[in-house]
Structure 1
C-alpha cells in the first residue's frame, strides 16, 4: 500500500509544482447551406509562465441570423486581470450584431460597437477594475466574406496560395508615438524592454485601462477579405505566439495540417518550445 501512496503523492507534487491550468482546446465546423464553402475551425489555449492566472479568452462559434450563417471567432488578451477580456468574450459580438446597420455597413457597425463597448467598460471601472484587453475578431458571413478587426497586438494572418498575409495592425507604442504625445502621454524605450505607454502598457490601443485611457485608443483597424479559392486558412493568435514566430513561419508550420485543431495545437506547442512565457492562444479557421 505504501508504494502506491508514495507514487500518488509524487504525481500530485509534480502537478502542483507545474501550477498551470490545463489547455483549452476544441474544434467545430459549419457547412453553409447552398454553398460549396465548408468552414472548419480549431483552437488551443495554454496558460503562460508569467506568474498570473490565465488572462486570454476566445470565441469560436456559429450563429444563424437574418437568413445568414455567421462564423464568429475572437481572441482577447487581457492584462491586469481577466475581467475585461471575460466581458468581451460574452458581449462584444452581441454588441456588433445588434448594430442596426450591420448588414449594410459592417465596417461602421464594428467600429461603433468597439467604441460603445469600451465606453461601457470605462463607465464601470469599479466592476471591471484597472485592467484592459487587446482584441482580434473575425466574422465570416456565409463563408464568403471575412471581416477582421483588432486593437492591440493580437494578430490575424491569412494564408493565400501558401503565402502569409498579415491583415491586422500591431498597435505598438513606438508606431503611435506622435498621437500619444499629442494627447499628453509619452513612450518609454528603456534598454532591455519593449516600448511602453507612460512606461506601463506595451500596446497603444486596447479596451479598458482607465488610468491610461487619455493616451490610448480603442478604435479598431478593420479589413474585409473576400473568400475565394486562393484563401486557405486564417490564424488568429495572441502575442504569446507572435513574439516568437514570424508570420510565414506560422503558415509554413501548419499549411499541410488539414485538421484545424491539430494546427492550432501545433502552433501553440511550437511557441512553448521557443520559450514563450506569455499566455498563448490560437485559432485556425480553414476554408474549402
Structure 2
C-alpha cells in the first residue's frame, strides 16, 4: 500500500469569493428610473435618474453603462489603478461629462440628471464612490455603518447630481477592508427612506452564504420598504464576501 509523500502534497489556503444579489421594484412610477449593472463581480453601479427632470431612465442607464465602460478602460492606466480614490473620481468625471454632452443632442436638450453609486471590490478592500442620495451600508461582525452621506439640503432636496454642471462634480469616497462574511448594501432612496437602519441590519444579518439566500434577503428588504409605504422605484444590491467551501 502506497502512502502519499507529505512533501509532495500541495496545500492551498481556502479562497474566498464574492457573491451578489440585486432586485428592483417599480412602485407606482410609470417606468423604472433606477439602473443597476455590474462587471465581473468587481465593479457594481447603481444610478437613480432624477424623476423631476426629463429622461430620468435614460440618464440612469447612461450613467451605469458609462461607469462600467470607464472602469474597464481607465483601469488600464497604472496611475488610476494604483489610486482607487483617484480612479473613482475619474469614473465620476467621465460619467458626468457623458451625461452633460448627451444634453447637447436633439431630443435631450430639455435636461437630464442622475445620482450614482460605484463600488469597486478588490482582494482585500472595497472603495465606494457616491454622488446624490442613494446610499451604501457596510456590515462587519454584526455591526452596520453607513458608508455614504446623502447630497441633500435640509429640505431633502438634492444638492449634487450628475448632468447639471459640466465640471466640479467630485464624489464622496469611502474605503474599507473587506473580509469574509462582510456585506455591502447599495440602495436607492425608494428603499432607504422607508426602512430604518436597525431594520436593514436585522435583514442583512439573515443573508446567509449562498446566491439564493442573498436573493431572498434583497427581496425581503424591498418588500419591507413596500410594506412601509414606498411607492417609488426601489433598487437594492447586496455584495458579500464568503469562504469558498469547495476549496477547503
C-alpha distance in 2, partners of 1:155/1:86?
A: 18
Superposition deviation, residue 102 in structure 1: 2.6
Superposition deviation, residue 269 in structure 1: 0.7
User: What is the CA deviation profile of residues 258-282 of structure 1, one whole-angstrom value per residue up to 9, with x for unaligned ones?
Assistant: 1211111110011000011110000
Corresponding residue for residue 189 of structure 2? 239
C-alpha distance in 2, partners of 1:35/1:203?
A: 44
- 1:166 corresponds to which of 141, 146, 160: 146
**Matching of residue 207 in structure 1 with residue 186 in structure 2:** no
Corresponding residue for residue 248 of structure 1? 198
C-alpha distance in 1, partners of 2:100/2:20?
A: 33
Corresponding residue for residue 4 of structure 2? none
Structure 1 vs Structure 2 CA RMSD: 2.1
Corresponding residue for residue 139 of structure 1? 120
Residue pair 1:153, 1:239 contacting (<8 A) in 2 also? yes
The alignment's TM-score, normalised by the length of structure 1, stands at 0.70
Corresponding residue for residue 73 of structure 1? 44
Structure 2 counterpart SS, 1:82: helix
C-alpha distance in 1, partners of 2:62/2:72?
A: 16
The alignment's TM-score, normalised by the length of structure 2, stands at 0.80
Superposition deviation, residue 35 in structure 1: 5.9
**Matching of residue 221 in structure 1 with residue 199 in structure 2:** no
- 2:132 corresponds to which of 152, 174, 197: 152
- 1:45 corresponds to which of 24, 32, 48: 24
Residue pair 1:96, 1:102 contacting (<8 A) in 2 also? no
Superposition deviation, residue 232 in structure 1: 2.2
Higher strand share: 1
Segments ≥4 residues shifted beyond 4 Å: none
How many residues get paired?
217
C-alpha distance in 2, partners of 1:242/1:227?
A: 23
Corresponding residue for residue 91 of structure 1? 66
Superposition deviation, residue 105 in structure 1: 1.1
* Gap regions ≥5 residues in structure 2: 1-11, 243-248
C-alpha distance in 2, partners of 1:76/1:281?
A: 9
When structure 1 is superposed on structure 2, of 158-167 and 94-103 the one drifting more is 94-103
Residue pair 1:163, 1:248 contacting (<8 A) in 2 also? no
C-alpha distance in 2, partners of 1:132/1:35?
A: 44
Corresponding residue for residue 275 of structure 1? 229
Superposition deviation, residue 34 in structure 1: 7.4
The verdict on how the C-alpha distance between 1:34 and 1:72 changes in structure 2, with shifts beyond 3 A counting, is farther
C-alpha distance in 2, partners of 1:222/1:34?
A: 32
